Amino acid sequence: MAIPTIVLIPFCVTGHLTSMVEAGKRLLSSSSRPLSLTMLVTPMSMDKLTSELADIIRRETESGFEIRFHHLPAVELPQDFHGAEDFISRFVQLHAPGAKAAISGLASPVSAVVMDYFCTTLFDVTRELGLPAYVYFTSAASMLALMLRLPSLDKEVAVGFEELDGPVNVPGMPPVPAASMPKPMMKKDANYAWFVYHGNRFMDAAGIIVNTVAGLEPAILEAIEGGRCVPGERRVPTVYPIGPVMSFKKPTAKEPPHECVRWLEAQPRASVVLLCFGSMGTFAPPQVLEIAEALDRSGHRFLWVLRGPPPGNSPYPTDANLGELLPEGFLERTKEKGLVWPKWAPQQEILAHPAVGGFVTHCGWNSTLESLWHGVPLVPWPLYAEQHLNAFELVSVMGVAVAMAVDTKRDNFVEATELERALRSLMDDGSEEGSKAREKAMEAQALCRSAVEEGGSSYTAWHKLAREVSRD
């Protein structure tokens, strides 16, 4: 008899896809019964995404785990969309017939379907097929609490968050400034409407799998599980905090260290601040000049991953032309204390290096977990998606970050003087603020690592989930 399979339906961009693959593999490892994974692939016609997807499929096919990739038929891309979330949700919705045909045609019996939180339109497919569906939530529990709260909040607040006077009540958190709401939710438009939709559909799930650590967000998880995010008698599905889910790629003996890592080898312990802004993090030339000025004046060692502008309609950056972007003489003046890297960089390897003592980050949740796993305190510079909410939580709830003023009305612009102040607050030896952030970051590291050990909170959640999906 064929081994039962768990069907995974990701949103096929790297940050969501790789996290779901890693989660699926951990699920296989946690199950007492043999299981396989079947991933339904919904690729978009973008060269970078297609190339990254091919690399992931090739790597995972050779991983030793029982993983199969099933490509769904191509669909005509939505044309009249009003933003990324509107495009993503409608794009996934168009795959409903293909997903239903693929799942019903599998040779293996299906134990469960796990889908990205942007894919809840496909709950109708799993209901028709009589299969349990789980949400895989790649963001923090704070974002989950907000999305569960949003359908009722939408009825209570007549205006968009950008027009709201006063803070927003997100259960389990201190009052959240309206400016810290996720960027796509600021206006009551099509993108906002999809968040309301997904928040409603979460309630139809058999469970919600969250890439977080129970000890990092205890009050928020308690508020979710206690029903404080959803009014009335509706019961919130079981929440499984299983993080941190990260891919640990160790260089082989034949593979030389990356040039950034080799540079770090010559730096003193905890002396370098990393500046890196994710797969879509680019800045206009005026902002680049402000960053350069701040780094020049701060006096601290730095490793700055600086990317060039995206080509055409792509959201992904190119390799930077440092001669065009940086001020004249900057590289020469800072060559003894800094490295500007113009290409992709191995962020997790860099964060793992003992020379790194701080991280200026866009606050993507994957990057945040990587930083906390390695005990590195942060300076949040949120740019898009839910990153402003993450930044607020890192400073005001977890205490692992030093706050920095980001001008949301000027496309998240930061003045050189403000970045310099934040760098000094984080990295100066005598800074009380930096000392507290470092202490909290080390506590977060201990929480992350103990959670995945045998008997830890995430380990226990994994095994509970594995029993559920394997129907053991």
How far apart, in whole angstroms, are the C-alpha atoms of residue 379 and residue 398? 13
Residue type, 27: L
Average pLDDT over residues 249-269: 85
C-alpha pair distances (Å), 273 with each of 302, 378, 382: 5, 9, 17
Quote the CA–CA distance of 150 and 193 in Å, as a whole number: 10
Q: Strand locations in 98-157, DSSP E?
A: 110-116, 133-137
Distance between CA atoms of residues 197 and 118, nearest Å: 10
Q: What is the DSSP letter of 250?
A: P
CATH topology for the 259-449 domain: Rossmann fold (3.40.50)
User: What is the crossing angle of helices 432-452 and 457-469, to 10°?
Assistant: 40
Strand pairing partners for 41?
71
Torsion angles phi and psi, residue 420, rounded to 5: -60, -45
Write out the catalytic residue numbers: 16, 116
Q: What values do phi and psi take at 452, rounded to 5? A: -95, -5
Tokens representing residue 104 in the block: 């019903």
**pLDDT surpassing 60 at residue 15:** yes
H helices, E strands: number in the chain: 18, 14
- Phi/psi of residue 207, nearest 5 degrees: -175, 160
Distance CA 388, CA 162 (A): 13
- State the pLDDT at residue 216: 98
Give tens-digit pLDDT for 343-372: 999 999 999 999 999 999 999 999 999 999
CB environment 102-132: b (16+ within 10 A), e (fewer): bbeeeebebbbbbbbbbbbbbbebbeeeebb
Rounded mean pLDDT, 226-246: 93
Separation between Cα atoms, residue 210 and residue 365, nearest integer Å: 11
How do strand 272-276 and strand 356-361 relate by DSSP bridges? parallel
Least confident piece of the model among 148-157, 305-314, 317-326: 305-314
Sequence-ordered list of residues with C-beta below 8 angstroms from that of 187, at least 6 positions apart, any chain: 160, 162
Higher-pLDDT residue of 471 and 434 is 434
CB 241 within 8 A of CB 460: no
> What is the full DSSP assignment across 159-189?
S-GGG--S-B--TTSSPBPGGGS-GGGSSSS
As a whole number, mean pLDDT of residues 213-238 equals 94
98-155 confidence digits (pLDDT tens): 999 999 999 999 999 999 999 999 999 999 999 999 999 999 999 999 999 999 999 9
Q: What is d(CA 124, CA 122) in angstroms, rounded to the nearest whole number?
A: 5
Digit-coded pLDDT (tens) for 373-382: 999 999 999 9
> CB of 57 within 8 A of CB of 69?
yes
Q: Give dist(CA 96, CA 119) in Å, integer.
A: 10
Note whether 388 and 382 are within 8 A (CB). Answer: yes
Provide mean pLDDT across the span 314-328. 91
Q: 377 near 341, Cβ under 8 Å?
A: no
Asked if 388 and 180 touch (Cβ cutoff 8 Å), the reply is: yes
The answer to whether 292 touches 283, Cβ cutoff 8 Å, is: no
pLDDT digits (tens, 9 = 90+) for 402-445: 999 999 999 999 999 999 999 999 999 999 999 999 999 999 99
* Strand, helix or coil for residue 353: coil
Nearest alpha carbon to residue 331 among 321, 322, 342: 322
CATH 3.40.50.2000 applies to domain 5-248+452-469 = yes
pLDDT tens column, 59-112:
887 777 889 999 999 898 888 899 989 999 999 999 999 999 999 999 999 999
Q: Which residues pair with 303 in a beta bridge?
A: 274, 339
Q: CB 249: neighbour CB atoms within 10 A?
A: 10
Count of other CB atoms within 10 angstroms of residue 226: 11
Beta strands, E only, 175-320: 207-210, 238-241, 272-276, 301-305, 307-308, 318-319
Distance between CA atoms of 468 and 316, rounded to whole angstroms? Answer: 38
User: pLDDT of 98-109, one tens digit each?
Assistant: 999 999 999 999
**CATH 3.40.50.2000 domain extents, the chain:** 5-248+452-469, 259-449
**How far is it, in rounded angstroms, from Cα 450 to Cα 106?**
38
Q: Give the pLDDT confidence score for residue 17 in this predicted structure.
A: 86
pLDDT, residue 377, reads 98
Residue 312 confidence (pLDDT) above 80: no
The reported pLDDT for the residue numbered 136 is 97
Q: Tell me, what's the pLDDT at 16?
A: 85
